[in-house]
Amino acid sequence: MRLNSLVKPLLITGFMLAGTAQAAPDAREVLEASPVDDIVAQYPEMMSRGIQDGLKQSGQVPPMVADSIGFLVSNSFRAADIEQRVVANLEAALTSEQLEEVHGWYQTPVAGKIAEAEIAASAPAAWPEIRSRAEDLNKRYQGTAREKLFDRFDAASRATESAVDTTIAVQLGLGTAMAALSRDSVHHEKMRERLESQRPALRGMVGQQVYDGYLFTYRDISNQEMNLYLDFLESEAGRSFTRVVTNSVQQAVIEPVESIGARLAAFGNFGGE
């Protein structure tokens, strides 16, 4: 056999394999194409600010203590660790075809526009505007197609479900921390049972916050664009991607909060007797 006749098909095969490798993105490439990595990068500040605001509004501890707890929380999270967990779980749970489908969606102009809106709205700096515009946006969209699309969005994105689970877990972690600070003997399981009994009420409150955020985030997205987004979220690849991302982030958020009680106890009872 002539050498050239052997080299040519090998070269062609090599190019085909190279093309195939390039066309099949890995989990990290998919994450980078999505808004998830940009949103995760804000999580340390998001968790710190959210817990600080919650403690100050509840009056459970003095403002200085709330700030100290917020500082501990922000230093308990590393965006890189959360991203690593998401990537590993995506690699384990999604097929190469599903990763490719998700990556393909995020290459579209509509997905890019929606991703920018989600990243901007997730920033803690945007929270005051979301709250201040909530009443106006609720009135503006009452009875409209955008309001009716929310149930579909919420089911596909698991937004309220995930937010309620995370809120209960964070409250449980902080409740344990407060008990450690005050040397209270409240049992962990009793605290969990009490919080779980409040789930229906909590779902109503959190659900309204999720709806307010939905109206604000997608206010410049047309209904046609929202329907395209929902079609993606409801697809097999979209559902798998959303499930893995939300579960991974939730786990990465809850674990550090659960360990804060022991760290706070080391500071002594600075909340007062």
Full pLDDT tens readout for the chain, 273 residues? 444 444 444 444 444 444 444 557 999 999 999 999 999 998 878 877 777 777 777 666 777 877 777 777 777 778 898 999 999 999 999 999 999 999 999 999 999 999 999 999 999 899 999 999 999 999 999 999 999 999 999 999 999 998 888 888 777 767 766 666 565 555 667 777 888 888 888 889 899 999 999 999 999 999 999 999 999 999 999 999 999 999 998 888 777 766 665 666 555 544 444
Cα–Cα distance measured from residue 273 to residue 270, given in angstroms and rounded to the nearest whole number: 8
Rounded Cα distance between 271 and 181, Å, is 7
pLDDT digits (tens, 9 = 90+) for 77-135: 788 989 999 999 999 999 999 999 999 999 999 999 999 999 999 998 999 999 999 99
Give the integer Cα–Cα distance in Å for 106 and 48: 29
Per-residue pLDDT tens digits for 25-46: 999 999 999 999 999 998 878 8
Calpha distance 84→31 (Å, rounded)? 10
**pLDDT computed for residue 153 by the predictor:** 97
Query: CA nearest 236: which of 81, 73, 99?
Result: 99
- Residue that the structure tokens 């003095």 belong to: 62
User: What's the pLDDT score for residue 179?
Assistant: 65
89 close to 240: Cβ distance less than 8 angstroms: no
Q: Rounded distance, CA 133 to CA 129, Å?
A: 6
18 and 95 Cβ atoms separated by less than 8 Å? no
Model pLDDT, residue 182? 61
- Pair 70, 256: CB distance under 8 Å: no
CA atoms within 13 A on the CB side of 138: 12
Q: What is the sign, positive or negative, of the torsion defined by CA atoms of 110, 211, 119, 248? A: negative
Give the dihedral sign, CA 58/61/62/68.
negative
- Domain range summary for the chain, segments of one domain joined by +: 27-267
Q: What is the pTM for the complete model shown?
A: 0.80
Cβ contacts of residue 85 below 8 Å, gap of 6+? 248, 251, 252
Gyration radius from the chain CA atoms: 23
